[in-house]
Amino acid sequence: MPDPQEFLLLAPEILLASAGLLLLLVGTIGRGLGNRHSAVVALASLFLTAIDLYAVGRSVPGSRLLFHGTFVIDGFALFWKSLILIATALTILLSIRYMEEAGYRAGEYYALLLLASSGMLLMASGYSLLTIWIALETMALASYILAGYFKRHLRSNEAALKYFILGALSSGILLYGISLLYGAAGTVQLGELARGLELARAQGSLLVPLGWILLSAGLFFKVAAVPFHIWTPDVYVGAPTPITAYLAAASKAASFAILIRIFYEGLGTLYGDWKWILAGVAAASMIWGNVAALIQDNVKRMLAYSSIAHAGYVLMGVLAASEIGLWSVLYYLLAYTFITMGAFAMVLLLERREYAGETCADYAGLAQRSPFLAAMMVIFLVALTGIPPTGGFFGKVYLFAAAVQAGWTWLAAVGVVTSAISLYYYFRIVVYMYQTDSAEATPVPLRAPALVTVITLCAVATLVLGLYPEPFIQIAKSGLLVVAGR
Amino acid sequence: MELLVFLIFAFLAVAAALVVVAHKNPVYSTMALVFTLFSVAVLFILLGAPFIGVLQVLIYTGAIVVLFLFVIMLLNIGREDSQIAGHKAQLFFALLGAVSFGSLVILALSSLRPKVLAPLTPELVSLKALASTLFNEFLLPFEIIGLLLTVAVIGATVAARRPTAEESAATAAERSIETKEARP
Amino acid sequence: MTVPLSWYLILGAVLFAIGAVGALTRRNGISIFLSIEVMLNAANLTLIAYARQWESHAGQVVVFFVMAVAAAEAAVGLALFIAVFRQRHTIDLNRINLLRW
C-alpha cells in the first residue's frame, strides 16, 4: 500500500471534487442553492483549492513522485494547476449572468465544472499513461455534457454529440497507441517508458513509431491542432459561451500540460523522431487556423479558428525543446488564458438572447455605443494578433525566438507571416467597431457586474503581462521540465 | 488445440466485427458486437487473463451492450437511409484504413520480440497477483476511475433528464427565435 | 501447438482497422459508436497479449480500466443520443452532420 501521507498531497484534487459533489448534494434538497449561491460556493472552493495547492507546493520542494510513480508534484504541474484554477474561476464569473438568463438548473452545471477541473488537475500531475488517460476521460466526459447543457437548443445538443463522437474516436486511437507503447516498453509509467522505448528503438522495433504516432494523434485532437481540429469550430459555436471559453482556456491548458509531459518525459528519448511530425502539425495549424478564420463571420467561429492557430504557435515552442522554448510556452498560455477569457466575455456581453449577437456586424458602431467596451475589445484583439504593449506580443516574440534558436527558422517565418494574416480578421472587428455606424444608438447595458469585472481584469492582466513581463517570466520559469533526450 | 481455439474465435471476432461496421440495422450491429466481445473474451482466457475474460463477458456484453440495445430500442432506430457519405470521402477513408491496416500487420510481424510465448505461469494467471498490482501500483488510477464513474452518472442524468417545468416554460418563447436563425 | 504472439497482434490490428474504417465511413451516430467499441477491443486484445509477453499484470489492469471507461462513455454517449432525439423528435440521426468541415 502507498503511504497514507501521500493522500495529503492529493488534497487539492480531492477538495475540488468534493466541492463539486457537495454542490450536487445540496442541489437535491428543496429548490437547491440557486444560481448565485452555487457560483459563490464554487468560487470559494476554487479559492480554498488554490490555498491548498500553495501549501502542497511549499511542502514539496523540487519534484516528488507519488503512488508508485503514477503521480508527480513538481513546478510544472503546479504552474498548470494554478492556470486551470484561474481559468475555472473566470468561467464561473462568466456563467453567473448567463445561467440566470438561460433558466437552466445551476447546481449540476457548477458541479460538473468543478469535477471537470479536478480531472484537469489530475491530468497536470499524471505521470503514467494510465493516470493521464483516465483523468483526461474524466475531463472529457464532463466537457461533453457541459457543451450540451443547453438542451433546448439544437446547436448545443449537436455540438455535444459531435464532440462526444469525435472525442471517443480520438480516445480509442490514443488507447491503441498506449497499448503499442506498452508492448514496446513493458510499462506505462512515463519515466520507465522513456528508458524502455530507447531500448526498443535501438532494437529497431517499428511498434515504437506507430505507438507514439497514434498517441500523439489523440493528443493533437485535444489541443485542437490540424488535422485533428474538425470538432473545434462547431463545438465552440454550439456550446454555451462560458463553456466555449472554458474549453478554449482551461481544457486547452490541461491538454497542453499532458502533451508536453508525454512528449518530454515519456517520449523524450525519441525527440529526433517526433520533431518532424510536430513541426508539420504546428505549421499546418498556424496556416489553416489563420486562413480559415479569414472567412468567418461568426465571432465565436472566428475565435475557434484563431484558437487552432494559437495551438500551432504553442506547438512551435514545444518543438524547440529548450529552456526558453518551454517557459515561453508557459508564459504564452498564461497570457492566452486571460486574452481568450476576455474576448469571450465580450462576446457574452453582446449576446442578446443566448445565441444572437455573435456576428461581426453586431460589433458595428460599438465605439459610439460604449467606448469603454470597444477599447477593451481592441486590447484583446491586439493581444491575439501579438502587437505590443500586450502579453500576446511578448508571448509570440519569445516563441519565435525559441524556434529560431533551436534551428526552426522556417517555422518561425510561417508564424510571422500567418500572424500578419491574422491582423486582417482581428482588425475587421476593430473597423466594424470604430468605422461603421450602428443600427441602434443605445449604449450596451453593463448589466452584469461579474462580466464587466472579468473583462476589466483580463484587459489589465493582458496589459500588465505586456508591460512588465519579468515577474511572469519568473513564474513561467518555475515550471520548467527537462527533456530526457536532449 | 490452442491453435484451433484461436483460429475459430479469431475468425468469429473478425467476421462479427465486419458485421458490426457494415450492417445497416444498428440492432444487428449490436448483436454482432456481442459475438466480437465474446470471442475476444475467449482469447483473453487463452492468453492467461481469465479474470479479465470473465469481466469482459459480464460488464461489456452483459451491461454495456444491453445499454446499447436498450437505447436503440427506446429511440426506435431502424435502418439507415443514407449512410454512404459520398463516394470520394468513403473511398479515401477506406483506402486510409486499408493502408493503415496493411502497415500495422507488417509492423506487428516485424517486431523483434520472441515469436513463441513462454508457457503460462501460475503467477500470471493468479487473481491475487492481479489484485495486488491493481491496489498497489495502480491505486491512484483506481481512485480516479471512481471520480470518472461519478462524473458519468451525473452527466448521463443531466443529459437525459426531461426539462423541468420552469425550463420547458421558457422553451416555447425561445423556439420561435431559434427557428428564425439560420444555422451556421 | 502454441499460438505465436504476433498472431494476436495481427488480429488486434485487423479489428482496429475494421473499427476505424467503420467509424470514419458510417454516418449514423450509434453505428459510429459501435465501431469505436470494436477499436477499444482491439486495443484491449493488444494489451492482454503484451501483458502475456512481458509477464506483467500492468496490461491486464489497463484493460480493467478501459472497461470502466467504456461503460462511462456508453452511459454519457447514449444519454446525449437521447437528448438529441428529444429535440428533433425524429429517429433520423443521419442529418446530424457529423464530420462536417
Q: What is the pLDDT of residues A93-105, one digit of tens each?
A: 999 888 888 778 8
CA distance B130 to chain A (A): 14
Q: Is A485's pLDDT higher than 50?
A: no
Residue A216's alpha-carbon distances to A70, A224, A342, in angstroms, are: 20, 12, 30
Interface A-B, measured as beta-carbon pairs within 8 A, has a size of 119
Q: Which residues of A touch C81 (CB under 8 A)?
A: 161
Give long-range contacts, CB 8 A cutoff, 24+ apart: B33-37.
Answer: B33/B65, B33/B68, B33/C34, B33/C37, B33/C38, B34/B61, B34/B65, B36/B12, B36/C15, B36/C38, B36/C41, B37/B61, B37/B65, B37/C41
Task: Give the DSSP letter of residue C2.
Answer: P
Cβ proximity of A108 and A27 under 8 Å: yes
Residues 45-64 of C with CB under 8 A from B: 45, 48-49, 51-53, 55-58, 60-61, 63-64
**Domain contains A290:** yes
Q: Is A164's pLDDT higher than 90?
A: yes
pLDDT digits (tens, 9 = 90+) for A268-312: 888 888 889 999 999 999 999 999 999 888 888 999 999 999 999
HEC sequence for chain B: CHHHHHHHHHHHHHHHHHHHHHCCCHHHHHHHHHHHHHHHHHHHHHCCCHHHHHHHHHHHHHHHHHHHHHHHHHHCCCCCCCCCCCHHHHHHHHHHHHHHHHHHHHHHHHCCCCCCCCCCCHHHHCHHHHHHHHHHCCHHHHHHHHHHHHHHHHHHHHHHCCCCHHHHHHHHHHHHHHHHCCCC
What is residue B14's predicted lDDT score, i.e. its pLDDT? Answer: 93
Q: Is A133's pLDDT higher than 50?
A: yes
Inter-chain touch C57–B94, beta carbons under 8 Å = no
Inter-chain touch C32–A160, beta carbons under 8 Å = no
What is residue A475's predicted lDDT score, i.e. its pLDDT? Answer: 84
The arithmetic mean of pLDDT across residues A6-29, rounded, is: 89
pLDDT tier for residue B114 given thresholds of 50, 70 and 90: low
pLDDT tier for residue B111 given thresholds of 50, 70 and 90: low
CATH architecture of C5-91: Orthogonal Bundle (1.10)
CA distance C49 to chain B (A): 6
Residues 6+ apart with CB under 8 A from A168: C33, C36, C73, C77
CB-hemisphere CA count at 13 Å for A417?
A: 12
Last residue within a domain, chosen from B77, B94, B113: B77
Higher pLDDT, B80 or A371: A371
> Residue A66: enclosing H or E segment and its boundaries?
strand A64-66
Residue A402's alpha-carbon distances to A230, A278, A307, B119, in angstroms, are: 29, 15, 21, 53
Question: How many H-runs (helices) and E-runs (strands) does chain A carry?
Answer: 21, 2
Whole-number percent of chain A with pLDDT over 70: 95
What is residue A308's predicted lDDT score, i.e. its pLDDT? Answer: 94
Q: Which residues of C touch A178 (CB under 8 A)?
A: 43, 62
Q: Which residues of C touch B95 (CB under 8 A)?
A: none
> Residue A64: enclosing H or E segment and its boundaries?
strand A64-66
**Domain contains B171:** yes
Residues 6+ apart with CB under 8 A from C10: B104, B105, B108, B109
- CA dihedral defined by A36, A39, A43, A46, rounded to 10 degrees? 160
Out of B40, B108, B160, name the one closest to residue C44 (CB): B40
Least confident of A431-440, B68-77, B94-103, C80-89: B94-103
**Domain contains A467:** yes
Mean pLDDT, chain A, whole residue set: 88
- Nearest alpha carbon to residue A183 among A200, A169, A198, A171: A200
The C-alpha atoms of residue A421 and residue A134 are separated, in whole angstroms, by 39
Query: Which of the other chains make 3 or more beta carbon contacts under 8 angstroms with chain A?
Result: B, C
The amino acid present at A204, given as its one-letter code, is G
Give residue A327's Cα distance to chain centre. Answer: 16
Q: Which residues of A touch B145 (CB under 8 A)?
A: 134
Mean pLDDT, chain C, whole residue set: 83
The amino acid present at B55, given as its one-letter code, is L
- Nearest alpha carbon to residue A221 among A175, A265, A189, A186: A175
Q: Which residues of B touch C50 (CB under 8 A)?
A: none
Residues from B in contact with A at Cβ < 8 Å: 103-104, 107-108, 110-113, 135-141, 144-145, 147-148, 150-152, 154-155, 157-159, 163-164, 166-168, 170-171, 174-175, 177-178, 181, 183-184
Query: Burial level of B4, CB count in 10 A (0-12/13-18/19+)?
Result: exposed
**Domain contains B116:** no
Q: A441 is in which domain, residue-wise?
A: 271-486
What is residue A289's predicted lDDT score, i.e. its pLDDT? Answer: 92
Q: Which residues of C touch A168 (CB under 8 A)?
A: 33, 36, 73, 77
**Domain contains A320:** yes
What residue of A is the nearest CA neighbor of B145? A134
pLDDT digits (tens, 9 = 90+) for A209-225: 888 999 999 999 999 99
* Greatest extent of chain A over all pairs of C-alpha atoms, in Å: 72
Inter-chain touch C46–A183, beta carbons under 8 Å = yes
Which residue(s) pair with A73 in the sheet? Answer: A64
The arithmetic mean of pLDDT across residues A448-457, rounded, is: 87
Number of domains in chain B: 2
What is residue B91's predicted lDDT score, i.e. its pLDDT? Answer: 60
**Domain contains B59:** yes
Peptide bond into A371 cis (omega under 30): no
The C-alpha atoms of residue A51 and residue A112 are separated, in whole angstroms, by 21
What is residue B88's predicted lDDT score, i.e. its pLDDT? Answer: 59
Inter-chain touch B150–A354, beta carbons under 8 Å = no
Residue A385's alpha-carbon distances to A321, A331, A377, A389, C44, in angstroms, are: 24, 16, 12, 11, 45
What is residue C61's predicted lDDT score, i.e. its pLDDT? Answer: 94
Last residue within a domain, chosen from B58, B77, B96: B77
What is residue C2's predicted lDDT score, i.e. its pLDDT? Answer: 76
What is residue B179's predicted lDDT score, i.e. its pLDDT? Answer: 43
Q: Could you give the 3-state DSSP secondary structure of residue C101?
A: coil
Mean pLDDT, chain B, whole residue set: 79
Q: Which residues of A touch C16 (CB under 8 A)?
A: 176
The C-alpha atoms of residue A61 and residue A255 are separated, in whole angstroms, by 25
Least confident of A30-39, B31-40, B158-167: B158-167
Q: Which residues of C touch B110 (CB under 8 A)?
A: none
What is residue B112's predicted lDDT score, i.e. its pLDDT? Answer: 52
CB-hemisphere CA count at 13 Å for A275?
A: 18
The arithmetic mean of pLDDT across residues B19-33, rounded, is: 89
pLDDT tier for residue B108 given thresholds of 50, 70 and 90: low
pLDDT digits (tens, 9 = 90+) for C28-73: 788 889 999 999 999 999 999 999 888 888 999 999 999 999 999 9
pLDDT tier for residue B83 given thresholds of 50, 70 and 90: very low
**Sequence spans of domains, chain C:** 5-91
What is residue B62's predicted lDDT score, i.e. its pLDDT? Answer: 86
Least confident of A2-11, A140-149, A183-192: A2-11
The arithmetic mean of pLDDT across residues B19-44, rounded, is: 91
**Domain contains A134:** no
What residue of A is the nearest CA neighbor of C52? A183
- Nearest alpha carbon to residue A229 among A259, A252, A263, A260: A252
Q: B175 is in which domain, residue-wise?
A: 138-184
The C-alpha atoms of residue C22 and residue C18 are separated, in whole angstroms, by 6
Does residue A186 sit at the C interface (CB-CB below 8 Å)? yes
The arithmetic mean of pLDDT across residues A120-125, rounded, is: 94
- Nearest alpha carbon to residue A472 among A485, A483, A482, A463: A463
Task: Give the DSSP letter of residue A189.
Answer: B
The C-alpha atoms of residue A22 and residue A115 are separated, in whole angstroms, by 11
